[in-house]
Structure 1
């Protein structure tokens, strides 16, 4: 059983969130106000709660913590709206947009902060008395810890890069949560799994949840500027697979055509010079150490920089924007893949 040696399932009868009460066998949108902006407008989180007719665990689905990564938000919303409470054991709680101001402005971080960090996903578990992004992180974190038994957080590449493949972050913490978190990654069916120690992900929502006993993974695919059908289906398939793994939905996780690959690190290759960018690879390509991955040229067509692979590995994301400034991401890749066939 998924929740062995863990707290009792939360969704045993009526779900109480904020002032809302959602009985067994019903679904409802719940609005939670998390603050007031300087123009006196209220910042609101919109949750869709589907409470099944039978007892079981609660799966929390989330998108849009980075406001410029919007494809996952659409998939989370669509899938949640399709769920029928009569076909669910346990519950599903969907938060399609978890960073409202960033989402509205198509910006990575919260736009309601001018002092300190804006990236909400680096500020967990949050601070109820801190800056607005810290307060938002605290509100979301508190909701998850009160109501969820497992979490899927949908991300994508940002507006200047594209991920032609798929991968999932699987935080590992040397705790009893690791096995359950690893099984979420395997059950998702995602081709590439990146297992990182939670100490390398300090402040990330998924890592902080795993540290506190709640299995959580990040699913990444596509781009922030366009909802590609293949990326949209990646989110849907992985969420449905995890829900089946948890016995929230009937059936078994969909079998994948190929074995999953587990990585233990990521490498980010940034531009050292500004100029026009031409990439020679795409997401999913396997590359060798020293292989040319991208070139940066100046206005007169002269090469400013040749970016090569520092190791054998697999490319995840490439720069899609035609230019780069010094420090901009050009290639994201993972070194030294280790095959595994333990997907369940």
Structure 2
């Protein structure tokens, strides 16, 4: 294999046919001890793309950690064509504290990319991650969950105006793709703008492993590997139905107009009709109920898990479905349905 198939980073290299587990220094603690992120680099013996898999840019988002670990350490990658850069925990300080943001000044690592080598602590960390392990890649998958107290159905977020991002998003094989460019400073947005097409995979809630979602996400990774020829055996996944939520379709976070205790009447992933009661807000005496109704027919992509709110707190994330997809989802969610399409 040609010498240029060697994966290099500042401080080391991984030759074709070689695997390395490294702990890469990205910062230091107050005591001057190193802050290191775990990175597994598998460089296949056959030529192919270089791909990164990352998780826990927010330190309490755990589902993606298990996805990345299983790909790196449980899959048989003997026939890998290309290179995998697996980063299961980007935000090590947040992970150790089991909190979303970096404990250092409460900064968001996922608003700090591509970073800067002489700027804030967060941007210095982001710089070392980005320039060593993201920028050299051909594309990437970045795994997230909802924030604390909420949960998301499995879906992809991607800039579908970019053909290479669209190919990657569709190859992952989720029912729902939320179309839009990644915000400034996000790993997805900055990597894509700098030539490494990247998608975000949202799945479940923070602070836990959810096995069903992890398995679904692993099937998505297999599908991507098939699309790009990283492995020969898997096939590209078709989820049965797919909707791409664009700016032309209605989508909204429905927020509480009153404080109280929330009685949620629908699960995440449910189809609700315009006017359906999504949830009820009550006080401790249950004598002042406020009903929250769906403003349009759509799918609940995210819902509240922690049943207490202040006014303005989000209750659910509702997205509109086109008529064809809505009929398919209705059949699937009907009590008489066998789940088929």
Using structure 2 for the length normalisation, give the TM-score.
0.87
Alignment of 1:51-130 (within 5 A): 51-113=43-105, 118-130=107-119
Aligned counterparts of 1:338 and 1:144: Cα–Cα separation in 2: 42
Aligned counterparts of 1:81 and 1:167: Cα–Cα separation in 2: 25
Distance 1:333 1:122, change over 3 A: farther
**Deviates further, 10-19 or 79-88:** 10-19
Does 1:256 find its partner at 2:245? no
Query: Which residue pairs with 1:222 in the alignment?
Result: 204
Q: Give the deviation of 1:202 after TM superposition.
A: 2.3
**Does the aligned pair in 2 maintain the 1:12–1:56 contact within 8 Å?**
no
Alignment of 1:1-344 (within 5 A): 12-113=4-105, 118-163=107-152, 165-172=153-160, 174=161, 178-198=162-182, 201-264=183-246, 266-303=251-288, 305-337=290-322
Gaps of 5+ in 2: 326-341
**Deviates further, 279-288 or 15-24:** 15-24
Distance 1:87 1:36, change over 3 A: same
The secondary structure found in structure 1 opposite 2:159 is strand
Distance 1:251 1:331, change over 3 A: same
Provide, for residues 302-342 of structure 1, a one-character-per-residue CA deviation record: whole Å limited to 9, x for no partner.
335432223222101111112223333221222244868xx
Aligned counterparts of 2:40 and 2:3: Cα–Cα separation in 1: 15
Distance 1:91 1:135, change over 3 A: same
Q: Give the deviation of 1:151 after TM superposition.
A: 0.4
Aligned counterparts of 1:127 and 1:328: Cα–Cα separation in 2: 33
The secondary structure found in structure 2 opposite 1:55 is strand
Provide, for residues 108-145 of structure 1, a one-character-per-residue CA deviation record: whole Å limited to 9, x for no partner.
1111225xxx1111222222222212222222221244
The secondary structure found in structure 1 opposite 2:78 is helix
Aligned counterparts of 2:262 and 2:45: Cα–Cα separation in 1: 54
Query: Which residue pairs with 2:328 in the alignment?
Result: none
The secondary structure found in structure 1 opposite 2:21 is strand
**Does the aligned pair in 2 maintain the 1:317–1:333 contact within 8 Å?**
yes
The secondary structure found in structure 2 opposite 1:332 is strand
Gaps of 5+ in 1: 1-9
Query: Which residue pairs with 1:3 in the alignment?
Result: none
Using structure 1 for the length normalisation, give the TM-score.
0.86
Q: Give the deviation of 1:23 after TM superposition.
A: 1.8
Aligned counterparts of 2:296 and 2:83: Cα–Cα separation in 1: 44
**How many aligned residue pairs are there?**
322
**Does the aligned pair in 1 maintain the 2:55–2:144 contact within 8 Å?**
yes
Provide, for residues 9-34 of structure 1, a one-character-per-residue CA deviation record: whole Å limited to 9, x for no partner.
x9943222232222211211122111
**Does the aligned pair in 2 maintain the 1:26–1:51 contact within 8 Å?**
yes
Aligned counterparts of 2:165 and 2:225: Cα–Cα separation in 1: 14
